[in-house]
A and B are shown apart, each in its own frame.
Chain A
């Protein structure tokens, strides 16, 4: 059983992604957070409890209150007991080369995925864990 966190404010996208994950028939548990702030608070609580941390984070960039970039900045500073455990992917509708370049500068970002994310891609992400 793998833990997947979706951090995205777009209700329709969250609905669709959950549906896609169900269809991929992977053994996963999905939790959603509608902005960076909520996800961050939860991560800080769980930082020392390896078993409770997610295995995969799918992070949107454009969100209210705390956007993806602000989240990443705070995320880099969390003292995880096992920092290698979490695989973090940006999943965004942005096609800005500037944002792709900016994401490359952040070590904890594994890949910059442009929406829509297809079923096969998700299966690959789970397989890579």
Chain B
């Protein structure tokens, strides 16, 4: 086996391989027996018989690597003149990086060239091992003897094939099939396993501008594929072969005889005729319209795919508010999603047996968008099946076509529940902060006016006393100290009480008979009442008992009655009316007087604040109403006043949680 072939010429080599009629032929046991023998002789797990197929290698027989799917596989980077052994195939420059060597983990390989009838190197017999190893001279000799047998086998096979081909029946069957397709409405070509055109009907001649006599006998790709696309076309063929030759459509660029090109769908049906595989190929031109439609279809599914994956809910409506499209964000159930198309919200509500109120509301929003041509946005708050309130921000966009006319409407809904909850929390916190800030300002006020003022006075008095030698003056100065200290004491006690109210948030309520508690207050104010001949009118019949902390009720009643007495009008005898009213969960207490009244247009904001006094009155200190309000609000109640100057005043107090 030491004949030296001429340098390989691609076209001639391929012609020589084709002459063997071996490429893409079915498995034959004779070839498999040779690979088995090769494996046994060399004790190698892998063996193969390969033929060159346009620069690649197609394996007629494969032993030990059925899992490797590529056939043909790329050829090794070598010119094979005689038996070649690569003991370290994984690193040898001639085989390094070869996909099959890598994938099968081949470490050593021995190849014996197979020469065709004209001396072309058409293929090889090879054995391979997954470990580094030598192949002995005897083993190599055995392989070479097997290649001699292989040559004989190929020759015998050719003779047999020629004899079979000569049988007239064979070609008759093929001719019948060709005749069958001659008058087909589509262009049809029939090719054999070597991709040689055997049939070419009139439509094909018309489509490609090539007559059947020109086309028959040529390779398929030579006739219909632009040369630059040969490789792509071969890959397609290989893939088809690897997939087991299914019936399949291929969209490929093809050319006419004048070299004009068009895209065609090749419908390939592999068909067995008398034991031989033939490809019946229908060729349909893909018209522009079809291409456009196909592209549109692709785009449509592309956008629908996106819309379907967006978590936002999206719906598209026509001009009559009927659904054209909804995504799974809007309706999860795919059956319902199909059902709603063509319905409007009213029909859908009836279909689902739901209340129409939502549909009515949505129709209003829709009509607004339709009439104004502008985006309409609103918030929907609904309870979900778990009972949580879900807030959805909805928008409906009118969409106009190229002529500027309304064509459809797109509706979006975004779940803003979490944002909403956050906003509400923030709003509550803002209120708390603002209330705390007011309290701080109030506190600053108390410190400034009710504590710091008297303290400053005391300091100055003491300083004057220290500097004075005059006994009478010292006596006078000392006498001025007493009222300052008294006022400081009162303020201090009230302040402590107010801080306690803020601290005992959970002070206990008890059922209190109002009449009894009022009596205690009146007893305490007996002197004032008698001195001013005040008239007290009480009617607690509507709600005689309140649930309240005794300490607070005492303080509230005392402050309101003593206020009414304190700010009496000098023009008339004081008259104070106290009454109650029962509401669902609360009791309203009203205290009406005929005193000086308060100018609410001036004092509305300040009336219950610390240190605010509205009367030119010696005992006006302004802490009483502030205390009352603090206690009432601590019990979640309310207090307000209605009054105008010289018209008297009515104080209203709401006691909450009265069941």
Q: What 0/1 pattern do residues 98 to 116 of A give for CB contact below 8 A with B?
A: 1100000000000000011
When distances are taken between beta carbons in the complex, the residues of chain A under 8 Å from B480 are 12, 15
When distances are taken between beta carbons in the complex, the residues of chain B under 8 Å from A35 are 616
Q: What 0/1 pattern do residues 442 to 456 of B give for CB contact below 8 A with A?
A: 001101110011001
- Contact size range, B: 20 to 34
Q: Is the Cβ of A12 less than 8 Å from the Cβ of B448?
A: no
Q: Is the Cβ of B453 less than 8 Å from the Cβ of A93?
A: yes
Q: Is A125 an interface residue (CB 8 A)?
A: no
- Kindly state the separation between the CA atoms of A35 and B620 in the bound complex, as whole angstroms: 13
Q: Is the Cβ of B483 less than 8 Å from the Cβ of A93?
A: no
Q: Is the Cβ of A19 less than 8 Å from the Cβ of B464?
A: yes
- Kindly state the separation between the CA atoms of A34 and B620 in the bound complex, as whole angstroms: 13
Cβ-defined partner of A95 (8 Å) among B441, B448, B459: B448
Q: Is the Cβ of B457 less than 8 Å from the Cβ of A65?
A: no
Q: Is the Cβ of B441 less than 8 Å from the Cβ of A98?
A: yes
- Kindly state the separation between the CA atoms of A92 and B456 in the bound complex, as whole angstroms: 10
Q: Is the Cβ of A116 less than 8 Å from the Cβ of B616?
A: no
Given contacts A12-B484, A19-B464, contact A96 B615 (CB under 8 A): no
Q: Is the Cβ of B615 less than 8 Å from the Cβ of A116?
A: no
Q: Is the Cβ of B614 less than 8 Å from the Cβ of A65?
A: yes
Q: What 0/1 pattern do residues 595 to 632 of B give for CB contact below 8 A with A?
A: 00000000000000001011111001000000000000
When distances are taken between beta carbons in the complex, the residues of chain A under 8 Å from B444 are 95-96, 98
Q: Is the Cβ of A65 less than 8 Å from the Cβ of B616?
A: yes
Q: Is B525 an interface residue (CB 8 A)?
A: no
CB closest residue in chain B, given A63: B613
Closest approach, in angstroms, between the C-beta of B446 and any C-beta of chain A?
A: 11
Q: Is B341 an interface residue (CB 8 A)?
A: no
When distances are taken between beta carbons in the complex, the residues of chain A under 8 Å from B614 are 64-65
Q: Is the Cβ of A115 less than 8 Å from the Cβ of B441?
A: no
Q: Is A32 an interface residue (CB 8 A)?
A: no
Q: Is the Cβ of B445 less than 8 Å from the Cβ of A115?
A: no
The CB with the most chain B CB atoms within 10 A, among A20, A35, A94, A98, is that of A94
User: How many residues belonging to A are interface residues under a CB distance threshold of 8 Å?
Assistant: 22
Interfacial residues of chain B within 437-475, with CB under 8 A of chain A in the complex: 441, 444-445, 447-449, 452-453, 456-457, 459-461, 464
CB closest residue in chain A, given B447: A95
| Main SS class of interface, A | loop
- Kindly state the separation between the CA atoms of A33 and B620 in the bound complex, as whole angstroms: 17
Q: Is the Cβ of A115 less than 8 Å from the Cβ of B452?
A: yes
Given contacts A64-B615, A65-B615, contact A13 B445 (CB under 8 A): no
When distances are taken between beta carbons in the complex, the residues of chain B under 8 Å from A65 are 614-616
When distances are taken between beta carbons in the complex, the residues of chain B under 8 Å from A19 are 464
CB closest residue in chain B, given A38: B616
CB closest residue in chain A, given B463: A116
- Kindly state the separation between the CA atoms of A27 and B318 in the bound complex, as whole angstroms: 93
Cβ-defined partner of B456 (8 Å) among A15, A93, A96, A98: A93
Cβ-defined partner of A64 (8 Å) among B441, B464, B617: B617
Q: Is the Cβ of A95 less than 8 Å from the Cβ of B452?
A: yes
When distances are taken between beta carbons in the complex, the residues of chain B under 8 Å from A78 are none
- Kindly state the separation between the CA atoms of A98 and B611 in the bound complex, as whole angstroms: 16
When distances are taken between beta carbons in the complex, the residues of chain A under 8 Å from B460 are 16, 20, 116
- Kindly state the separation between the CA atoms of A93 and B487 in the bound complex, as whole angstroms: 15
Residues of chain B whose beta carbon lies under 8 Å from any beta carbon of chain A: 441, 444-445, 447-449, 452-453, 456-457, 459-461, 464, 480, 483-484, 611, 613-617, 620
Known contacts A20-B460, A94-B452, A96-B445; 12 further A-B pairs (Cβ under 8 A): A12-B457, A12-B461, A12-B480, A13-B456, A16-B460, A16-B464, A64-B615, A64-B617, A94-B448, A94-B449, A96-B448, A116-B460
- Which 5 pairs of residues, A with B, have the shortest CB-CB distance? A93-B453, A94-B448, A93-B452, A62-B449, A64-B613
A-B contacts, 11 of them at CB < 8 A, read A15-B480, A16-B457, A16-B461, A34-B616, A35-B616, A37-B616, A64-B616, A64-B617, A65-B616, A96-B445, A116-B460
